[in-house]
Amino acid sequence: MKRKTSLLLAFAMGITMLAGCGNGNTQTTTTAETAKQTTASDADTKTEETTVTTTVAETEAPADEPASGKKEVTIAQSASFSMGFGQAVMVYETTYYANNFYEPLIKYKDGEYVPCLATEWSKSDDGLTYTFKLREGVKFNDGTDFNAQAVKLYFDNMRPMLGMSTNYGQLDMLTTEVTADDDYTVSFHLSRPYYNVLNDISMCMPRGILSAAAFNDDGSTNDAYLMDHTPGTGPFMFESVNDTATEYTFVRNPYYWGETPDVERFRVVIIPESKVAAMKSGNVDFIIGSETLDAESYKELSQSDGITGVVSDFDFVTEFIALNNDAAGLDDINVRTAIQMALDKKSVAESIYSGLRTPADSVMPEDMPFCKADVKTPAYDPDGAVKLLDDNGWVDTNGNGIRDKDGTELSFTITYPATGVYDNVVLYYQATMQELGIEVKTDPLDLMTFFNQVFSEVKYDMTAYMSYWFPYDPYTFVANMYPSTDYMAADGIYSTDPQVAKALATLGNDKAAELIRGLYTYDDDAKIQEIYTAALDSANESSVVIPLNYRNEYAVFNNSVIDSYTFNSIPNHVDVAAIKLK
């Protein structure tokens, strides 16, 4: 696959991957250290267990390490950690859990950047150097020291792997050198000022720091090691996996520098189906995410005895219909506008998603940074949609129920990942378009085929998909509005998402390119805000990317075990340290 798409596919697959195998009923394996604490009678009942690997037993843990077997929770998810726990670009199953193992230098919380592995930071007057003072006394969970050399090693090794793509921001492209100024001071030196350095640094995936053990001598990732190790500074670490890879166990990091979590140990069981039954039976304590649990199942569980449901208050991702304005018929803005006017987004949010999503009136939700738009998307007006098509000559001339004009019929195919996430909304869209006189045929594809056909080959009429979620939204999404996917461009600026690259149709390619190029030129917040507002206004008016709803994430938990759960700044990421036990 072309390099220009490889990085976007990595986290796009992470968003939609629902694959998995087996069930959640296999006995968890134990580490060597836990085995030492097992009584003889306990051992007799666990003869089928297989000790796979351990990281706890490989280090000399501090004396206050928590006892095993207490304060444990079981979490259900759909997909296994089949590609291990690395930060390399094709490791997508781990994305939802990475913040439990790895930490960035700073974090985004409640609208601002706050210390994490760095305690303070500063920017040079010319905007070319960012200096971070590191937290002292921190160790990785393999017992090695966290310091400036470890940070330099990590970024020196990861920059070539991330390449020149801007999917994770421009930091790697613009960094000329990372220097360890002293044992606990590190500086990033840039080739030009960049407005979004702090956001890029705050991304746990892929900028949560791993220890030197994660890399080979040549700087490449030690993939075999990362299959069963999580060498970070976060509150938890890998302990074991059973022989069918359907149950993983993680334990507290004995060296963790922060507040001790309530949970001492958590298990992740892979349950592609039957999560509702597992939750009701008490075999599972916690489920999070609309990728893991559909809205109807959430409603059912949240209304069941002994189970509590919680919903995040942050709109962090946009679900959309993308139209290819190079397709005959869709090159007419009147057709695209009529399509958007015919969609009852409020009913979609209430009926299909049980009221758990927010109807969208802009391609990016306004509670994200820089996402102030002066122009909103066309309002729901089905009669107006019919009139708009009629007035512009799109009528059914042969009585087959499909509008046409000058020999072109409004007949299209919508392509989408066959994960089950989009099925209901696509059926609604198909039925709504039929009433409007537009034929829509459905083409659900497996994930890899979808990514190849849409992102690499750019062969589609319409797609059903979603944005990249915060913190990649809004920065990467808006940057991808650059109207060219030519990754060989001399200036190095290109879009990695052909759907979004078409979004600024009302501006035309030259003006769109000039506008988005400003994100690679300025670091003044006021100027950046002007660019975002202009881009969002054009996107909302162009009706190429038609936003349907904003996702509000949800979770359910066993309230006899768990007292509360607080979503972190990326609501679909599992934050086990935020689970408070009874």
Q: In terms of domains, do 133 and 176 share one?
A: yes
Q: In terms of domains, do 239 and 325 share one?
A: no
Residues forming a β-bridge with 249: 240, 267
CA–CA separation, 8 and 30 (whole Å) = 36
- Is residue 67 one of the residues assigned to a domain? yes
The predicted model scores a pTM of 0.82
The residue ranges of the chain whose pLDDT is under 50 are 1-69
- Is residue 229 one of the residues assigned to a domain? no
Specify the length of the chain in residues: 582
| 3-class SS letters over 430-478 | HHHHHHHCCEEEEEEECHHHHHHHHHHCCCCCEEEEECCCCCCCCHHHH
- Orientation angle between helical segments 525-542 and 509-517, nearest 10 degrees: 150
Kindly give, in sequence order, each residue whose CB lies less than 8 Å from that of residue 164, ignoring residues fewer than 6 positions away: 172, 173, 492
CA–CA separation, 471 and 370 (whole Å) = 12
The CATH number of the domain holding residue 338 is: 3.10.105.10
Q: In terms of domains, do 159 and 257 share one?
A: no
Which of residues 154, 180, 214 is at a domain's end? 214
CA–CA separation, 396 and 403 (whole Å) = 4
* Predicted pLDDT at 32: 32
* Predicted pLDDT at 70: 63
CA–CA separation, 423 and 427 (whole Å) = 6
Q: In terms of domains, do 68 and 129 share one?
A: no
Contact by Cβ (8 Å): 408, 397: no
Q: In terms of domains, do 461 and 540 share one?
A: yes
Helix (H) or strand (E) holding 207: helix 204-207
| CA angle at 508 for the pair 503 and 511, rounded to the nearest 5° | 100
Which of residues 214, 245, 270 is at a domain's end? 214
The CATH number of the domain holding residue 138 is: 3.40.190.10
Q: In terms of domains, do 547 and 565 share one?
A: no
Q: What is the CA radius of gyration of the chain?
A: 25
Q: Which residues of 387-403 are buried (b: 16+ CB within 10 A; e: fewer)?
A: ebbeeeebeeeeeeebb
Q: In terms of domains, do 127 and 178 share one?
A: yes
With CA atoms as reference, report the closest residue to 484 among 444, 515, 529: 515
- Is residue 221 one of the residues assigned to a domain? no
- Is residue 114 one of the residues assigned to a domain? yes
| CA angle at 92 for the pair 520 and 567, rounded to the nearest 5° | 85
With CA atoms as reference, report the closest residue to 463 among 434, 503, 436, 494: 503
CA–CA separation, 270 and 254 (whole Å) = 26
CA–CA separation, 519 and 517 (whole Å) = 5
Q: Considering its fold, how many domains does the chain have in total?
A: 3
Q: In terms of domains, do 509 and 560 share one?
A: no
Q: If you ran DSSP here, which 8-state letter would residue 380 be given?
A: P
Q: In terms of domains, do 206 and 293 share one?
A: no
* Predicted pLDDT at 166: 65
CA–CA separation, 334 and 385 (whole Å) = 9
Instruction: Report the 10 Å Cβ neighbour count for 243.
Output: 13
Q: What is the DSSP string of 85-148?
A: S--STT--GGGGTGGGT---SEEEETTEEEESSEEEEEE-TTS-EEEEEEPTT-B-TTSPBPSH
Alpha-carbon distances of 568 from 107, 248, 573, 576, rounded to whole Å = 10, 23, 7, 10
CA–CA separation, 292 and 18 (whole Å) = 7
Residue carrying structure tokens 């006892």: 67
- Is residue 488 one of the residues assigned to a domain? yes
* Predicted pLDDT at 17: 37
Contact by Cβ (8 Å): 466, 318: yes
- Domain of residue 191 covers 106-214
- Is residue 331 one of the residues assigned to a domain? yes
Q: Can you tell me whether residue 51 is helix, strand or coil?
A: coil
Kindly give, in sequence order, each residue whose CB lies less than 8 Å from that of residue 366, ignoring residues fewer than 6 positions away: 372, 373
- Is residue 228 one of the residues assigned to a domain? no
Q: Can you tell me whether residue 1 is helix, strand or coil?
A: coil
Q: What is the pLDDT of residues 253-288, one digit of tens each?
A: 999 999 999 999 999 999 988 999 999 999 999 999
* Predicted pLDDT at 18: 33
Contact by Cβ (8 Å): 118, 106: yes
- Is residue 226 one of the residues assigned to a domain? no
Structure tokens at 441: 């045929």
Looking from the CA of 153 toward its CB, the CA atoms found within 13 Å total: 20
Structure tokens at 126: 């010319």
Q: In terms of domains, do 279 and 332 share one?
A: no
Q: In terms of domains, do 23 and 150 share one?
A: no
Q: In terms of domains, do 186 and 160 share one?
A: yes
CA–CA separation, 49 and 47 (whole Å) = 6
CA–CA separation, 118 and 105 (whole Å) = 5
Q: How far is CA 95 from the centre of its chain?
A: 7
CA–CA separation, 381 and 387 (whole Å) = 10
